[in-house]
Structure 1
Amino acid sequence: MAWLALVIGGLLEVGFATSLRFADGFRNVPWTIAFLVCVSASMGLLEYAGRTIPMGTAYAVWAGIGAAGGVVLGMLVFGESVSPARVLLLVGLVGCIVGLRMVE
């Protein structure tokens, strides 16, 4: 259950980073609310997962999911470049996340 919470928390990290992009200095109220909801839930799930999973591992996985999700979202939605090097590095990042889970 802790690993599921950690994955969901990592996905919510993508949500709060994306919301922050549109919050316009916290002047855009709907995006600011979305940011606050996502960041609160994400941090709460990280805290919950950290009760069972070693915090170093939990944080690395949480941040990695957020980073990988942000890159994928950027490429698919925001028109960021999709180069072979970026895809290779993304695959490496995901491999490291999976590796941390496997050695846990």
Structure 2
Amino acid sequence: MHGKIGAHIAKTLYDVSEQIQKAIEYHTETSPNMDELAKIIYVSDKIERNRKSEKFDLDAERELARKDLDGAVLFIIDASIEKLVKKEKLMHPTIVKTRNKLLMERM
């Protein structure tokens, strides 16, 4: 929810571009329509230095992000899905759509 609210505030108060607004919105839930900036913001949010993760090795993910941005997004999505499945939680459909689109683009 804070992604959408943050995007609205950024647009209203700072008149940011639509690209930046979408990157802010997508940094929490992903989107099949993520451009490179949105992917960078998404990955950066998940691997920033002060974050602790039970889902994956942050150092390995940081290295992957330097080499393969789409691979890093996929890795994070897969880890998120795995965690949701283990906890028997619902997942937002956009995470699956985003994953499928990234996989299809890699074929």
Shared topology, TM-score over 0.5?
no
TM-score (norm 1): 0.38
Higher normalized contact order (CA 8 Å, seq sep 6+, divided by chain length): 1
